[in-house]
């Protein structure tokens, strides 16, 4: 299926250079809100769609912070990518997405990244071997001459298929009446069969369905019995209400029944909307998911459809369930998530991964984290092993961007009259721009491990001389911020973003970066 001819779907899924560059080894509250399906600026040839009952969570954009007052940025690492595909669906449908559907970090992390040249198991700055390596890069911001971008990349250790632990997977499939149309249950059936192609004899699949009633459509079956699994998937039909809570409980019961110690024990929830039978309060659903998470059973969400699509709940329970949220708008997207990135979405190499970055006031006066609004933590949460955080899958690449105001650049906030002038005080760490700390737990551990290392200020390149990946992801960051309505990108034009992206397209084997340029052009056309 062609992305230019994309089906109208939303799917949330859970699974699991010439630069100053170095290589070294609960979310803020939001409110659920209804959004209109037609966020258009007035093209006469495009008709707004009917009002949609889809729900997204609102998060305020991260503000500019003064280093003298708030030197620490503390947050959980996020590995979801669903927002990018959902936004693509809106644009291909001829609509601008509602701002709350746009999460910049999920756009940044959608694109495959070049592997680090350094051995992933070691780090010059870390005192212990880590399950991932970290790289940073500094270059001027392309959208503001008075700002500098800090890009931090975390690359998790990958695993060969033969190294993967056995998997106990429960497909929990919404078969209610609203799932009947081609872009919902039929697409999910095709998507899950792609995952089945990679299963091994030591893996096991169970299928649970829910509508007006729940049932086990397939008892636990070895992964090499592909014909039986695919036949069970093909036999599903859509009818009735949406008894999600009862389905969820039955899925957990089956997951416990087939639990594999030391293996992957995960539920893949696929649905187009809200639960309307049984327990429907999101907090009660979250409590159930959290309880089962503590037993070692994780949950990912995979969603389809637009009307009545409760993305707010799907994203949240994926976070609480230590899984992933994915949005699948086509079979090619399903293949990307369930085949190409299966290791990343199913196999956890580090859990409860947190980062804390301390900025040095001798170099930095202000900073703004781009994206990750739903992953912000209190500073004291960093050392508290009881606070849940994001998990990183095998081979996963995570990118962070901070927009910095360096000393000598024009600040947004006036210098404090009574604060100590740290820039002129006696330097203690003269070359360190920031100090990065990472804390994580091994998949089966309850206590965390700490690694920390500096960001060293070196010779600053021009933006044009920054690495290809830096320049392309800066373009993606600008795209996400502008779609979200960020005041910081008010003077940046769509043609500028297109230019930055196209000049850094690179090899682009899968064509994702070429498609990005097309999507920015669609956004430009719909914004007039």
Q: Where are the domains of the chain?
A: 29-77+96-103+110-160+348-410+428-526, 161-346
For domain 161-346, give the fold.
Rossmann fold (3.40.50)
- Given a cut of 70, whether residue 235 has pLDDT beyond it is yes
HSE (side-chain half, CA atoms, 13 Å) at 203: 24
Q: Which of 174-178, 214-218, 435-439 has the lowest mean pLDDT?
A: 174-178
pLDDT over threshold 70, residue 16: no
- Contact call for residues 410 and 148 (beta carbons, < 8 A): no
Say yes or no to pLDDT of 494 above 70: yes
29-77+96-103+110-160+348-410+428-526 fold = Immunoglobulin-like (2.60.40)
Higher pLDDT, 29 or 139: 139
- Rounded distance, CA 143 to CA 493, Å? 9
- Is the pLDDT score of 356 beyond 60? yes
Question: Within 13 Å, how many C-alpha atoms sit on residue 18's CB side?
Answer: 9
pLDDT at 278: 54
Beta-strand pair 31-34/72-76: unpaired
The per-residue pLDDT for range 300-342, each reduced to its tens digit, is 998 887 776 778 888 888 999 999 999 888 899 988 988 888 8
Mean pLDDT over 494-521 rounds to 96
pLDDT above 70 for 485: yes
Higher pLDDT among residues 53 and 469, named by residue: 469
Please give the angle made by the CA atoms of 242, 300 and 222, to the nearest 5 degrees.
95
Does residue 470 have a pLDDT over 60? yes
Q: What average pLDDT does range 478-495 have in this prediction? A: 97
The three state secondary structure string of 493-504 is: CHHHHHHHHHHC
Which pLDDT does position 439 carry in this prediction?
A: 96
- Going by pLDDT thresholds of 50, 70 and 90, the confidence category of residue 234 is very high
Backbone angles phi and psi of 251, in degrees to 5? -65, -45
Q: Which DSSP symbol is given to 340?
A: I
Q: How many Å apart are CA 357 and CA 500, to the nearest integer?
A: 28
Q: What is the pLDDT of residue 245?
A: 81
């Amino acid at each position: 299926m062609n992305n230019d001819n994309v089906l109208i779907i939303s799917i949330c899924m859970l699974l699991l250079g010439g630069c100053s560059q170095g290589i070294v080894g609960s979310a803020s509250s939001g409110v659920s809100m209804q959004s209109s399906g037609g966020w258009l600026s007035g093209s006469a040839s495009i008709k707004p769609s009917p009002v949609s009952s889809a729900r997204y969570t609102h998060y305020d954009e991260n503000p500019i912070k003064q280093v003298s007052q708030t030197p620490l940025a503390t947050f959980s690492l996020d590995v979801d990518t669903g927002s990018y595909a959902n936004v693509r669906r809106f644009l291909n449908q001829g609509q601008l997405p509602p701002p709350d559907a746009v999460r910049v970090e999920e756009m940044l992390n959608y694109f495959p990244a070049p592997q680090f040249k350094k051995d992933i198991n070691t780090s010059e700055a870390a005192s212990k071997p880590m399950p991932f390596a970290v790289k940073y890069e500094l270059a001027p911001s392309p959208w503001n001459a008075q700002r500098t971008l800090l890009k931090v990349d975390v690359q998790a250790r990958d695993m060969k298929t033969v190294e993967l632990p056995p998997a106990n997977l429960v497909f929990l499939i919404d078969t209610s009446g609203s799932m009947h149309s081609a872009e919902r249950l039929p697409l999910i059936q095709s998507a899950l069969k792609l995952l089945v192609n990679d299963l091994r004899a030591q893996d096991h699949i169970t299928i649970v369905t829910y509508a007006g009633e729940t049932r086990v459509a397939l008892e636990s079956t070895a992964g090499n019995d592909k014909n039986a699994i695919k036949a069970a998937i093909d036999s599903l039909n859509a009818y009735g209400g949406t008894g999600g809570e009862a389905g969820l409980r039955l899925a957990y019961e089956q997951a416990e029944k087939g639990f594999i110690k030391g293996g992957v024990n995960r539920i893949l929830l696929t649905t187009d909307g809200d639960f309307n039978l049984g327990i429907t309060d999101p907090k009660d659903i979250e409590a159930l998911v959290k309880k089962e998470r503590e037993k070692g059973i994780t949950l990912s969400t995979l969603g389809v459809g637009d009307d009545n699509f409760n993305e707010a709940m799907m994203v949240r329970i994926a976070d609480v369930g230590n899984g992933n949220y994915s949005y699948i708008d086509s079979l090619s997207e399903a293949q990307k998530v369930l085949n190409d990135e299966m290791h990343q979405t199913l196999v956890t190499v580090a859990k409860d991964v947190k980062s804390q970055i301390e900025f040095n006031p001798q170099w930095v006066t202000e900073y703004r984290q781009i994206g990750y609004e739903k992953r912000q933590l209190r500073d004291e949460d960093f050392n508290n092993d009881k606070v849940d955080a994001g998990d990183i899958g095998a081979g996963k690449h995570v990118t962070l961007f901070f927009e910095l105001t360096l000393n000598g650049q024009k600040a947004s906030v006036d210098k404090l009259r009574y604060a100590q002038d740290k820039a002129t005080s006696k330097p203690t760490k003269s070359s360190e721009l920031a100090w990065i700390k990472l804390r994580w737990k091994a998949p089966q551990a309850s206590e965390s491990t700490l690694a920390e290392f500096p960001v060293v200020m070196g010779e600053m390149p021009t933006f044009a001389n920054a690495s290809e990946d830096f320049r392309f992801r800066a373009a993606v960051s600008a795209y996400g911020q502008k779609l979200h309505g960020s005041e910081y990108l008010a003077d940046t034009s769509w043609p500028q973003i297109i230019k930055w992206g196209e000049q850094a397209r690179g090899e682009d084997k899968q064509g994702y970066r070429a498609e990005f340029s097309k999507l920015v052009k669609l956004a430009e056309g719909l914004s007039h």
